[in-house]
Amino acid sequence: NSPAQKANTAKTDSTTVKYLTKPLISSIYTADPSAHVFEGKIYIYPSHDIDAGIPENDNGDHFAMKDYHILSMDSIGGKVTDHGVGFDIKDIPWAGRQLWAPDAAYKDGTYYLYFPVKDKQDVFKIGVATSKRPEGPFKAQPQPIAGSFSIDPAVFTDTDGSSYMYFGGIWGGQLQRWDKGKYDSNGSKTDLQKDDAPAITCKVAKLKGNMLEFDGAVKDVVILDSLGKPLLGKDHNRRFFEGSWMHKYNGKYYFTYSTGDTHLLTYAIGDSPLGPFTYKGVFMKPVQGWTTHHSIIEVKGKWYIFYHDTEISGKTHLRNVKVTTLEHNADGSIKLIDPFL
Ligand code: FUB
């Protein structure tokens, strides 16, 4: 455990802790919820946490997930349906281990499930699987998406119909090992280890119309401070770590992400889905547990954030998904959410 993780756990050891909202389901452990409105319902694509008995480390080996259960709700606050296993690691021909945070998209009668998993050489890549139903079962393409790497795919479809994938995560997500354009198995276990250089950042790629391939080069998601300078490696309270998402509000593009070891959800705003984005602030304080991962959707004119914490288990690798409201202020900023009452 890093000191930050210990502090984060200690904060919630007290018996007086009261949570802002309740877990959506308790029959299985779920995390990293990517929510979408499909067919008039809310579908949630979470990781399915399991206890594989692997000790906790900074590489994230204890997150040893093997399948996804897709959840749905008719409305926020309504009954949650667990549709059972919609996708299994054993059906991915190239997979080795660790099926991490997924996302989903819809186009022209097909649902697309995007998933990160380590290949047989223990390198994270991103794959895609398809289904005619939002809850699956999903069938994987035979190979990972060409040019993909690292973790946490988040697919955003703009109002003009173009889709983009945001992806990447440092430390156990291996993003820092791709800094020179190809995977360096001897690379850093954490970040670029250059405090005064621009921090490694999230990646974005436009998707082709077939939703299965990248359309052109993978680009950096540039996050600038208020003076127009890129965030630096030492700026752990603001720099990108993992768990990105994109939503569009009043014509502006909101890039939201986790700062990882400082346990914050932060946002940056831009005029294009490809950025650059200007850092604006924290919109969610640390949850219980080390990881923090979210998605943001609009349902019937109101905005919601799906996130996870460890209320049920108290263990960082056994998480439970939750939902609460997200509010934009009149000036476009996001109201700060405290996950505890
Ligand atoms: O669930 C495994 C990893 O933990 C995710 O990929 C990260 O975003 C973090 O939530």
Could you read off the pLDDT of 251-291 as tens digits, one per residue? 999 999 999 999 999 999 999 999 999 999 999 999 999 99
Task: Name residues contacting ligand 1 (CB within 6 A).
Answer: 31-32, 47, 63, 100-101, 151-152, 169, 242-243, 291, 293
Residue 117's closest CA among 88, 139, 137, 138? 88
* Span from the CA of 234 to the centroid of ligand 1 (angstroms): 22
Ligand 1 atom with the smallest distance to the CA of 98 is 2
List the catalytic residues: 32, 242
* Span from the CA of 238 to the centroid of ligand 1 (angstroms): 18
* Span from the CA of 290 to the centroid of ligand 1 (angstroms): 10
Q: What is the mean pLDDT of residues 174-186?
A: 97
Ligand 1 atom with the smallest distance to the CA of 151 is 6
Cβ 93 vs Cβ 140: under 8 Å? yes
Chain center to CA of 49: 14
Q: Which of 57, 63, 244, 308 to mutate to test the pocket of ligand 1 (most atoms within 8 A of CB)?
A: 63
* Span from the CA of 31 to the centroid of ligand 1 (angstroms): 8
- Indicate whether 9 pLDDT > 80: no
- CA pair distance 209, 68, nearest whole angstrom: 26
> Residue 113: what residue type?
L
- Indicate whether 148 pLDDT > 70: yes
Maximum pairwise Cα distance, the chain: 52
- CA pair distance 182, 46, nearest whole angstrom: 29
Residue 59's closest CA among 154, 156, 190? 190
What pTM did the predictor assign? 0.96
- Indicate whether 1 pLDDT > 50: no
Chain center to CA of 280: 19
Tell me how far apart the terminal alpha carbons of the chain are, to the nearest angstrom.
Answer: 26
Q: What is the mean pLDDT of residues 29-41?
A: 98
Residue 35's closest CA among 303, 258, 242? 303
Q: What is the mean pLDDT of residues 66-90?
A: 98
Return all residues near 338 (Cβ < 8 A) that are at least 6 apart. Answer: 20, 284, 285
Give the pLDDT of residue 204.
Answer: 98
Ligand 1 atom with the smallest distance to the CA of 243 is 8
Q: What percent of the chain has pLDDT over 90?
A: 95
Give residue for tokens 């990881």: 291
How high does pLDDT run on average in the chain? 96
Give residue for tokens 């996950």: 339
Determine which residue's CA is closest to atom 9 belonging to ligand 1: 291
Give the pLDDT of residue 17.
Answer: 83
